[in-house]
Chains A and B, each alone.
Chain A
Amino acid sequence: MVATLSSSSPSSATSPAGLAVDMEDVVGRYRGANFVSVDHVSLKVQRGAFLGLLGPNGAGKTTLLSMLCALMRPASGTVSVHGLSFDENPDSYKDLLGFVPQGLALYPRLTGRENLAVFGRMSGLRGDLLWERIEFALAFAGLSEFAGRRVGTYSGGQQRRLNLVTALLPDPPVLILDEPTVGVDPQSRHAIHENLRALSRAGKTIIYTSHYLDEIEHLCDEIAILDAGRLIARGPLDDLLARSSGQNIELRFDRDHVTRALAVLQDLAGVQEAMVASSLVTLLVDDAYLRLPGVLEALRAIAVRPVALSIGARDLEQVFLSLTGTRLRDGV
C-alpha cells in the first residue's frame, strides 16, 4: 500500500478515549415476524477497538449491524455512536459511520474513480477535499492505475477493495464491515487485511463480521459471539480460548478407516464433539490427558491404528463450535 492514512479530518484526530458504539438492551424484530432476531443485546465498543462479530447463519449479526447503521429501528433499547443517537441528528449520525455491505454496492458501468466521486459527493464531500480523498482511496486500495476502467471489468478482488475504500471516503471514525472478503482470492484477501490493520493502527473503530474464523483470529483484538439473537460470549481472543474448558485430540487415519473410527469415537465418554475433515478426525474433549487412553483402547478394539496423533488447545473455530453447536443453520 503506497497511501498513508489521513489524520487531518476531525474524526480521525479524535482521541480514542470513550465509547465509539453503545448498544443498550437492544431488541430487533423484522416487520411481520413473530420472533425477535436480536434479543436484548448490549454491546459497548471502545474507540479504536477492532471487534470481530461472529455467529452462525441467522444468529442476528446482520440485524444488529442494521440497527447500528440506522437501516433498521430497534424494537426497544438504545443505540448511539460517539454519544449521538440517530434521532438526535440523522445526518451527523450517518457521518460517523462507514458501512461496507456484504454485496458489491457499486455501479458497474461507472469507472472506479466515478464510483468514488458519486459516493463521495453523496457523503457530503466536495471540491478539492473530494478529489484528495478519492485519490487517497484509490492509492489505499492499490487501484490508482485502474481508476479509469469500468468497475464491471474489475476482478472480484479489485471490486472488493473498491467496495471497502468507498466507505472510507468521508473518513468516518467508525467502520462496519459485513463479510468484506467473501469470494476473493488470497492475494486480495491479504491486501484487505493489510488495509484493515492500517486503519486500525490509525485509530479507526472497526466492527467486522466474517465466516472465516482465521480472519477474526488474526485481525481482531476483541470478539463477540452471537447465537439465536443473544450475545453468548465476548472478550479478547485469549480470554475466550482460556475460558473454553477442554482440549482437542486430532487423529489422522487411512481413508478407509475413518468411518469405522468415527463410529466408535464419537460416543466415548468425555467427547463433546467429533469432527471430520478428509482423513483427520478431531475430538473435542473435556480433558485430553484423561480421555486419550480410552480413545486408543476403542481403536484397538476395532483394530484401527491412527497414522498420526496430537493433542492441542482449542482454536477459535473449536471454541465457536463448542459454544454454538454443530447443528446446521439454514436461517438467515
Chain B
Amino acid sequence: MRRLSQLQAVLQKETLGLMRDAEALLILIVMPAVFVLIMSLALRDTFHHGLPKPMRLVVLEQTQTKTAARLIEALRHDQALALVFLPFSGDRASRKHVREEVRTGRASLAIVLKAGRGPHSDSVLAVTLYTNPALPAQMRALGVSLVRQALVRVKAQRLASAMRHLMPPGAGPVQAFADAERHARLSLMIVKQGLDGAPTPTSAQQNAPAWALLAMFFLAVPLSVSFIKERQQGVLTRLRTLPVPSWVLLTGKLLPYFVINMIQLAVVLLEGMYLLPLLGGGTLTIGHAPFALLVVAASANGAAIAYGLLVATFVRSQEQATSFGAVSVLIMAAIGGILVPTMVMPPSMQRLAHVSPMFWGLDGFQAIFVRGDGLAGILPDTLRLTAFAGVCLVIAALRFHRELKPQ
C-alpha cells in the first residue's frame, strides 16, 4: 500500500507538472501533428513523381542464353537501374529469395529470367518482373517501363539479326518477317509482390509514422530536462532523504510520458486519416490489424521512453540534455529513414538504416499500413524495439538507483 501511494504521488506530480506546462504540451502533441501536415503536403509531389536514382533491380538469371545476356546488357546500360545479381540456388529457393528482397524493400524491382519452351528455346525468354508494393506508383510504372524498354530493344536486335539470316534472296519480305518474329519471341509477366490490392503508399504513409516516431524519441529532451530540473532544484536531494525506492520514482515519471506519446501518435494518425485527404496530402490507410498497430506503437513508445531515460541519467545539465538528446535523436532519424526515406538512399545507407530503432519502428508501421501485415509481420521489429527498450531501461535504472543511494 505504501509503495502504491508513493507511486500515485509521483504520477500526480508528473502529470500535473506536464499539464500545466502549456509550451511543453504544445511541443509534445501539436508540433508533430503540424510537422506531419507540412511535410506530407510539401513532399507529396516528391513521393508521386520523384526519380530516385538508381532503382535497385535484383536479377535472377536461370537461362545462360544469349538473349538473356542481351537483356541484362540492355538493363545494365540504363542509368536509372542498379543491377544486383542473385546466385541461382534452386528454382524454389531462388524465387523465394527474390520475393523477399522485394517484399522487404531491399530491392525496388526484381526480374527472373527463365527459358521458354519450344523448338527455338534459345530465343524464347520468360521474364517475370516483381515490384515492391511500397514503391510509389509513378516509380513502379517507371521501373516496369524501363524493363519493357530493354525487352523491346533486345527484341528489335533479334528481329534485325534474324531477318538478315532468314531472308533468302528472292524470298518475300512478309514471310521472312513472320519467321523472324516467331523466333524472337519474348514474354513479360509483371508480378506486384505482396498482397493483392495493397494500398499504394502515399506521402502521408511515409510521413505520419515517421514524424510521429521522431516526436516520440524527441521526448528524450523534455524527459531528461525534467530530471535535471529536479536535481538543480534540490528536489532530488529531498527525495533521497525520503523512504521511497528508485523504481517508484522511475515508474511514476515514465508513465505520463508514455501516455502523452500514445496520444500524440493517435493525433497524428487521425490527422493522416481525416485531415490530410481534405488538404490533398494523400490518405493514410492504417491496414486491418489494430492490435498489431497497438503492439508496434507500444514497443516503439517504450523504446523511445527508455532511450529518453537513458539520456536523462547520463546528462548533467539542461544544455547537455537539449543538445545531446536532440542531436542523437536526429542522427537516429537520419539513419533510420525518418528524415530521408530509405528507398532513396544508396544501398550502403539502406543497410545502415537497419541499426536505427526508428527504422524498426517505421518498418513496423509500414508493415501494417503498406504491406498489410499482421502480428507475424511486425514480430521482428517489435522484438528489436523491446530488446532496445529493455537494455536502455536496465542501464538507466541501475544508474538512477546508484544516484539515489548514499554516495
Which residues on A are within 8 Å of B, measured CB to CB?
30-31, 69-73, 86, 90-92, 94-95, 97, 99, 101-110, 114, 117-124, 126, 150, 166
A312 to B20, CA, bound (A): 57
- Nearest-CB distance from B289 to chain A (Å)? 40
Residues of B contacting A109 in the complex (Cβ-Cβ under 8 angstroms): 16-17, 20-21
Q: Tell whether, in the assembled complex, residue A122 and residue B9 are in contact, meaning their CB atoms are under 8 Å apart.
A: yes
Which residues on B are within 8 Å of A, measured CB to CB?
1-2, 5-6, 8-10, 12-13, 16-17, 20-21, 233-235, 237-244, 406-407
Q: Tell whether, in the assembled complex, residue B241 and residue A71 are in contact, meaning their CB atoms are under 8 Å apart.
A: yes
Residues of B contacting A101 in the complex (Cβ-Cβ under 8 angstroms): 234, 237-238
A73 to B405, CA, bound (A): 9
Some 29 contacts from A to B, beta carbons below 8 A apart, are A70-B241, A71-B240, A71-B406, A73-B407, A94-B242, A94-B243, A99-B238, A105-B233, A105-B234, A105-B237, A106-B235, A109-B16, A109-B17, A110-B13, A110-B16, A110-B17, A117-B9, A117-B12, A118-B10, A118-B12, A118-B13, A119-B238, A121-B5, A121-B8, A122-B6, A122-B239, A124-B2, A124-B6, A124-B243
Q: Tell whether, in the assembled complex, residue A72 and residue B12 are in contact, meaning their CB atoms are under 8 Å apart.
A: no
A123 to B244, CA, bound (A): 7
Residues of A contacting B21 in the complex (Cβ-Cβ under 8 angstroms): 109
Residues of A contacting B9 in the complex (Cβ-Cβ under 8 angstroms): 117-122
Residues of A contacting B235 in the complex (Cβ-Cβ under 8 angstroms): 105-107
Residues of A contacting B243 in the complex (Cβ-Cβ under 8 angstroms): 90-92, 94-95, 123-124
- Nearest-CB distance from B134 to chain A (Å)? 44
A92 to B1, CA, bound (A): 16
Residues of A contacting B239 in the complex (Cβ-Cβ under 8 angstroms): 122
Known: A106-B233, A122-B9, A126-B5. A166 touches B238 (CB 8 A): yes
Q: Tell whether, in the assembled complex, residue B242 and residue A123 are in contact, meaning their CB atoms are under 8 Å apart.
A: yes
Q: Tell whether, in the assembled complex, residue B241 and residue A121 are in contact, meaning their CB atoms are under 8 Å apart.
A: no
- Which chain A residue has the least Cβ–Cβ distance from B405? A73
Residues of B contacting A92 in the complex (Cβ-Cβ under 8 angstroms): 243
- Nearest-CB distance from A77 to chain B (Å)? 14
Residues of A contacting B240 in the complex (Cβ-Cβ under 8 angstroms): 69-71
For the complex of A and B, 10 pairs with smallest distance between CB atoms = A103-B234, A121-B9, A91-B243, A105-B238, A105-B234, A73-B406, A99-B241, A94-B243, A126-B5, A109-B20
A72 to B21, CA, bound (A): 34
Q: Tell whether, in the assembled complex, residue A126 and residue B12 are in contact, meaning their CB atoms are under 8 Å apart.
A: no
A205 to B50, CA, bound (A): 76
Which residue of B12, B234, B244 is within 8 Å of A114 (Cβ)? B12
A109 to B238, CA, bound (A): 17
- Nearest-CB distance from B18 to chain A (Å)? 9
Apart from A30-B407, A119-B238, A122-B242: 17 A-B pairs, beta carbons within 8 A:
A69-B241, A70-B240, A72-B407, A73-B406, A92-B243, A99-B238, A101-B237, A101-B238, A104-B234, A105-B233, A105-B237, A107-B17, A109-B17, A110-B17, A121-B9, A126-B1, A166-B238
Q: Tell whether, in the assembled complex, residue A70 and residue B406 are in contact, meaning their CB atoms are under 8 Å apart.
A: yes
Residues of A contacting B12 in the complex (Cβ-Cβ under 8 angstroms): 114, 117-118, 121
- Nearest-CB distance from B83 to chain A (Å)? 59
A105 to B239, CA, bound (A): 9
- Which chain A residue has the least Cβ–Cβ distance from B239? A122
Interface of A (DSSP majority class):
loop
Among A86, A99, A120, A123, the most chain B Cβ lie within 10 Å of the Cβ of A123
Q: Tell whether, in the assembled complex, residue B241 and residue A114 are in contact, meaning their CB atoms are under 8 Å apart.
A: no
Q: Tell whether, in the assembled complex, residue B233 and residue A97 are in contact, meaning their CB atoms are under 8 Å apart.
A: no
- Which chain B residue has the least Cβ–Cβ distance from A150? B20
A106 to B235, CA, bound (A): 6
Q: Tell whether, in the assembled complex, residue B16 and residue A114 are in contact, meaning their CB atoms are under 8 Å apart.
A: yes
- Nearest-CB distance from B322 to chain A (Å)? 19
Residues of A contacting B242 in the complex (Cβ-Cβ under 8 angstroms): 94, 119, 122-123
A110 to B21, CA, bound (A): 11
Residues of A contacting B407 in the complex (Cβ-Cβ under 8 angstroms): 30-31, 71-73
A122 to B5, CA, bound (A): 7
A97 to B240, CA, bound (A): 12
A4 to B393, CA, bound (A): 46
Q: Tell whether, in the assembled complex, residue A102 and residue B6 are in contact, meaning their CB atoms are under 8 Å apart.
A: no
- Nearest-CB distance from B288 to chain A (Å)? 43
- Which chain B residue has the least Cβ–Cβ distance from A123? B242
- Nearest-CB distance from A245 to chain B (Å)? 40
- Nearest-CB distance from B96 to chain A (Å)? 58
Among A70, A99, A105, A121, the most chain B Cβ lie within 10 Å of the Cβ of A121
- Nearest-CB distance from A311 to chain B (Å)? 45
Residues of B contacting A123 in the complex (Cβ-Cβ under 8 angstroms): 242-243
- Nearest-CB distance from B192 to chain A (Å)? 54
Residues of B contacting A105 in the complex (Cβ-Cβ under 8 angstroms): 233-235, 237-238
- Nearest-CB distance from A75 to chain B (Å)? 11
Which residue of B10, B17, B20, B237 is within 8 Å of A122 (Cβ)? B10
Which residue of B8, B10, B233 is within 8 Å of A103 (Cβ)? B233
- Nearest-CB distance from A96 to chain B (Å)? 10
A86 to B243, CA, bound (A): 11
Residues of A contacting B20 in the complex (Cβ-Cβ under 8 angstroms): 109-110, 150
Residues of A contacting B233 in the complex (Cβ-Cβ under 8 angstroms): 103-106, 108
- Which chain B residue has the least Cβ–Cβ distance from A111? B16
- Nearest-CB distance from A154 to chain B (Å)? 14
Residues of B contacting A103 in the complex (Cβ-Cβ under 8 angstroms): 233-234, 237
- Nearest-CB distance from A58 to chain B (Å)? 18
Known: A70-B406, A121-B6, A122-B9. A102 touches B234 (CB 8 A): yes
- Nearest-CB distance from B197 to chain A (Å)? 51
- Nearest-CB distance from B313 to chain A (Å)? 17
A212 to B189, CA, bound (A): 91
- Nearest-CB distance from A11 to chain B (Å)? 14
- Which chain B residue has the least Cβ–Cβ distance from A73? B406
A31 to B405, CA, bound (A): 13
A124 to B21, CA, bound (A): 28
Residues of A contacting B241 in the complex (Cβ-Cβ under 8 angstroms): 69-71, 94, 97, 99
- Nearest-CB distance from B281 to chain A (Å)? 36
A280 to B352, CA, bound (A): 76
- Nearest-CB distance from B90 to chain A (Å)? 63
Residues of A contacting B234 in the complex (Cβ-Cβ under 8 angstroms): 101-105
- Which chain A residue has the least Cβ–Cβ distance from B249? A122
A47 to B243, CA, bound (A): 22
